[in-house]
Amino acid sequence: MEASAASIGTYVVGGGFVVAFLFGLVAAKTNFCTMGALSDIVNMGHWGRMRMWLLAMAVAIVGTSWLSYAGLVDLSKSVPQRPLLAWLSLALGGLIFGVGMTLAGGCANKNLIRLGGGSVRSLVVLVFTGIASYMTLKGLFGQWRAGFLDPVSINLGERGWADQGLGTALARTTGMDAKTALLAVAASCVAGLLIFVFKDKRFRANATQIVGGLVLGALVVAGWYVTGHLGYGENPETLETVFFATNTRTLESLSFVAPLAFSLELLMLWTDASLHVTFGIASVLGVIAGSAAYALASKSFRWEGFASMDDLRNQLVGAMLMGFGGVTALGCTIGQGLSGLSTLAIGSFIAVAGIMAGSVATLKYLLWKMEQD
């Protein structure tokens, strides 16, 4: 039984690395970046990369909803679906993360991709993001989060909700069967997204972005399957059914802020026998490796540093804000923007709205400041 448990953990960690490797490879190839997509809209009115992100979201919703409907994974146990809706943490954390990723020139995922391409600047950003993330999980920032933000919440569990999914909300409101409500909500969201995505003629002609959106969305679904199905089994020590090799001790998909903190913890406390490589840590390494593979294959690998002291200052401030905001909002542009939204969790919509608002406001401020200068 011990060998079986070890094998399950190995499958989860290995699966996380492979999923993230492909994610990093495709994201590097297609220049996938949520902050970049918002920047394209604000500065140029171009929606190409945003449509790719929305296509990935639609695919992730379809696949994740099917996994739940078929009973292959129990999304109600995932962090985004927990019935305690900490709306203030989600909104404010998302807003702060959006400001931070814009100052840092990209979210955690984008900086992992840049690191794979030779950016020493991104390495510094990721280290400081990881430090701030750890401080928000277990340190000084965590005291503020737990003491002032998280208590402002709505306990949906006390109202009989199994989770905070939009499908559950529809079922509770109308009396509809839970599985039917899930399909109805998923179909409505996906239909709206696909109509918007493919109504643009230029996007329909861009095979790279279409394939990129399809693959990236499918990889989010693969993450849920690896941790929620392959990684779900009996612990030989307690004889309880558990999720193996995840930091949250439940099913996860791709997310990169908290895993940066766990990666630093593992490196600093390597001899601590209680710490192990997890799905999240493997996914961080996988994105870097996938991006590096693309950079080397395309001969685009270049060492890159900071352009100036002002650049260094903005990057470090942005990194600290991303670390705090990402943990407080329970995810980043990938952790909430794709993985969280794929579960149709109400809190994920709140967090993503905050991220986008913070990023757009910061982009407009930087544009105004540049015009003034």
Give the DSSP H/E element, type plus range, for residue 301: none
d(CA 322, CA 361): 15
Residue 62 structure tokens: 């379809």
Listed residue (218, 231, 239) closest to 278, CA to CA: 231
Give the DSSP H/E element, type plus range, for residue 189: helix 178-198
Give the DSSP H/E element, type plus range, for residue 85: strand 84-85
In sequence order, what E strands does 137-179 have?
Answer: 154-155
Q: What residue type is assigned to position 186 of the chain? A: A
Vertex 164: Cα angle to 163 and 168 (nearest 5): 75
d(CA 153, CA 85): 5
DSSP string, 203-272: HHT-HHHHHHHHHHHHHHHHHHHIIIIITEEE-TTT--EEE-S-TTSS------SHHHHHHHHHHHTTT-
SS3 category, 153:
coil
Q: How many domains is the chain partitioned into structurally? A: 1
Who's near 231: CB < 8 A, 6+ residues apart? 8, 9, 11, 12, 15, 243, 244, 245, 246, 251, 279
Would the pTM of this model clear 0.75, i.e. be above it?
yes
Answer for the pair 297, 112: CB distance below 8 angstroms, yes or no.
no
Q: pLDDT 10s digit of each residue in the chain, 373 long?
A: 444 667 889 999 999 999 999 999 999 999 999 999 999 999 999 999 999 999 999 999 999 999 999 999 999 999 999 999 999 999 999 999 999 999 999 999 999 999 999 999 999 999 999 999 999 999 999 999 999 999 999 999 999 999 999 999 999 999 999 999 999 999 999 999 999 999 999 999 999 999 999 999 999 999 999 999 999 988 777 778 899 999 999 999 999 999 999 999 999 999 999 999 999 999 999 999 999 999 999 999 999 999 889 899 999 999 999 999 999 999 999 999 999 999 999 999 999 999 999 999 999 999 999 888 7
What residue numbers bound the domain in which 295 lies?
Answer: 2-372
Residue 81 structure tokens: 């679906």
Listed residue (320, 313, 341) closest to 97, CA to CA: 320
SS3 category, 304:
strand
Specify the pLDDT at position 3. Answer: 47
Give the DSSP H/E element, type plus range, for residue 84: strand 84-85
Q: Establish how many alpha carbons lie within 13 A of residue 40's alpha carbon, considering only the half-sphere containing its beta carbon.
A: 15
Q: Is 31 exposed, middle or buried (0-12, 13-18, 19+ CB in 10 A)?
A: middle
d(CA 259, CA 337): 16
